[in-house]
Amino acid sequence: MRKQDTAATIPEIRPGQSLELLKELHILTRDGKLNQDTRRKLKQVYHLYQFIEPLLAGAQTVADHGAGKSYLGFILYDLYFRERESGHIFGIETRRELVEKSRELAARLDFGRMSFFHATVEEATRSTALPERIDVVTALHACNTATDDAIRFALTKKAKHIVLVPCCQAEVAAALRASRRESLAKTPLAELWRHPIHARELGSHLTNVLRCLLLEAHGYDVTVTELVGWEHSLKNELIIASKTPQNNGRPRQNARERAAAILREFNIEELAPRFTY
């Protein structure tokens, strides 16, 4: 595909970026313009890319779980891999119609090193169509336990970097509610999750804390930050886990024990298989 120099006409867009792709992603209007909403969306896309770009240095394979319409994969390919001789992006999605649309768009844009799979995370983990090792694994707004499945996939594939934006964490909150009476009898701290709305919010926070400890237990350095301002999304906690030369993949010694202690303290030890393996 011919490289398109858009900087002269729309300064916000990076030189060489595919106009057709930006229209497909509804970042540009059909007549090639930016309005207030699409300008904000473009800013968010570039903000996310700034976090991920440093992780791509030397990466040959990227797997995006819960890819949806594969917005992230297309952006990474367009901004980073398209002008390089190597590097492959795999989009993994359970909705067949979205997989087919992504395949059609990749063919139309001549993005030859993108592949899309109609599969669950478990199926993708076992698939021989994917490499034994994946350098970077992403899962943005993978709902509830799908984020945990993506973590397990990344660990199985010995990923160097993992990028997560968790969403709709309901499992821990449900466990907190189920043991509420017993917990209230044991500790006044159970008042923190006595009301359903508090159980939901605390459960979401606990889920991400336990995920970070799990990643640290497997030798990753973990950074937690905010993806975009709260005015844009309430589900925007960004977790980046990396195996770096500095840590040499050494696990944080007490991470697994800390996670187990948290599960005991909150009376939800039945979730240990998900967070302490």
- The pLDDT of residue 235: 67
Residues 6+ apart with CB under 8 A from 233: 227
Q: What SS3 class is residue 144?
A: coil
- The pLDDT of residue 36: 82
> Measuring CA to CA, which residue among 55, 57, 52 is closest to residue 71?
52
Token representation of residue 213: 């400890």
Assess if residue 11 is contained within a domain.
yes
Same-domain pairing of 83 and 140: yes
Q: For residue 138, what are the domain limits?
A: 1-168
Same-domain pairing of 148 and 191: no
Assess if residue 239 is contained within a domain.
no
Assess if residue 195 is contained within a domain.
yes
- The pLDDT of residue 1: 42
Angle in degrees, CA 135, 137, 138, rounded to 5: 145
Same-domain pairing of 161 and 180: no
- The pLDDT of residue 39: 83
Same-domain pairing of 124 and 187: no
Strands of the 136-143 sheet, one edge to the other: 114-118, 88-93, 61-65, 136-143, 161-167, 237-242, 221-226
Same-domain pairing of 1 and 32: yes
Same-domain pairing of 59 and 163: yes
- The pLDDT of residue 8: 44
- The pLDDT of residue 157: 97
- The pLDDT of residue 96: 96
Helices (H), the chain: 19-24, 36-52, 71-76, 96-109, 121-126, 146-156, 171-178, 180-186, 196-217, 255-265, 272-275
> Measuring CA to CA, which residue among 167, 168, 162 is closest to residue 150?
162
Max CA separation in the chain (angstroms): 68
Q: Which residues of the chain have pLDDT under 50?
A: 1-8, 230-232
Residues 6+ apart with CB under 8 A from 144: 167, 168, 169, 170, 171
Q: Are 240 and 227 in contact (CB under 8 A)?
A: no
Integer Cα distance of 95 and 97 in angstroms: 6
Say which amino acid occupies 24. Answer: E
- The pLDDT of residue 121: 87
Q: Are 95 and 168 in contact (CB under 8 A)?
A: no
Q: What are phi and psi of 102, to 5 degrees?
A: -65, -40
Quote the number of domains for the chain. Answer: 2
Q: Are 236 and 172 in contact (CB under 8 A)?
A: no
Q: Are 49 and 55 in contact (CB under 8 A)?
A: no
* pTM to 2 decimal places: 0.90
Same-domain pairing of 111 and 147: yes
Same-domain pairing of 163 and 178: no
